[in-house]
């Protein structure tokens, strides 16, 4: 069961990563009018449309991760410690704190992305998005690396 949960957690994290990356790119480097190539289309997504999906995906992924974390604590973590994988271990420790702080940012993130967008809040909206993108990227990579060290079902 734990393997199925870890894979589901990874897939949800991947969806979240895609959504938040689309949004942060479109916020930081919005597409110029008339551009038609792939990168321009990537940048041209309606960033406001992603906010609710990002919040829902963040909450579901974090909740599932919090559940799986109990198993990590009594199995995979010991392997990281015994193998002296301190950088990966530290990255995972930081991940748990970043996720916890990210949870508290979500109400403000939702508030500043609600429609119609208030232009006076554009900088706050942009920086909240960058912060959430950083948290999601860190969490994804740290989780992925830790999982690669431990392996599935070993």
Partner 1 sequence: MKSSSVKSQGIRTSRRFGVFAVTFAAVYAVVYYIVLVNNWPLFSYGPAVGEWTLFNHGASDGPTMYWYGWIATSAIVAAVIGALVSLLPERMSRRLWSGLAWLVPLGAIAAIFHLLGGYFTH
Find the part of the chain contacting partner 1 (CB under 8 A) among 10-18, 19-27, 36-44, 96-104: 96-104
Could you give the C-alpha distances from 38 to 27, 48, 49, 94, in angstroms and in order? 17, 20, 20, 34
DSSP state of 84: T
Find the part of the chain contacting partner 1 (CB under 8 A) among 15-23, 42-50, 106-114, 145-153: 106-114
Task: Give φ, ψ of 29 to 5 degrees.
Answer: -130, 75
Is 14 a binding residue for partner 1 by CB under 8 A? The answer is no
- 60-72 burial: b if 16+ Cβ within 10 Å, else e: bbbebbeebbeeb
Is 122 a binding residue for partner 1 by CB under 8 A? The answer is no
Q: Which is nearer to partner 1, 39 or 90 (CB)?
A: 90
Q: Which of residues 123-152 bind partner 1 (CB under 8 A)?
A: 123-124, 127-128, 130-131
Report, in Å, the least distance between residue 59 CB and partner 1.
Answer: 13
Scan for tokens 């993130």, then name that residue: 109
Is 108 a binding residue for partner 1 by CB under 8 A? The answer is yes
CA distance linking residue 60 with residue 124, whole number of Å: 25
Token code pair at residue 83: 């193998």
Q: Which is nearer to partner 1, 42 or 137 (CB)?
A: 137
Token code pair at residue 10: 């990874």
The residue ranges that bind partner 1 (CB under 8 A) are 66, 69-71, 73-74, 77, 84, 86-87, 89-91, 93-94, 96-98, 100-101, 103-105, 107-108, 110-112, 114, 121, 123-124, 127-128, 130-131
């Amino acid at each position: 069961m734990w393997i199925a949960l870890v894979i589901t957690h990874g897939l949800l994290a991947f969806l979240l990563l895609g959504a938040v990356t689309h949004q942060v790119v479109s916020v930081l480097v919005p597409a110029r009018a008339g551009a038609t190539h792939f990168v321009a289309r990537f940048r041209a997504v309606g960033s406001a449309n992603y906010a609710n999906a990002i919040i829902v995906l963040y909450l579901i992924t974090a909740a599932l991760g919090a559940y799986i974390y109990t198993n990590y604590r009594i199995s995979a973590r010991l392997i990281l410690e015994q193998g002296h994988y301190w950088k990966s271990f530290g990255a995972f420790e930081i991940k748990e704190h970043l996720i916890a702080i990210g949870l508290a940012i979500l109400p403000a993130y939702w508030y500043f992305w609600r429609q119609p967008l208030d232009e006076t809040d554009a900088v706050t909206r942009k920086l909240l998005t960058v912060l959430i993108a950083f948290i999601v990227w860190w969490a994804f990579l740290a989780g992925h690396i830790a999982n690669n060290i431990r392996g599935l079902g070993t």
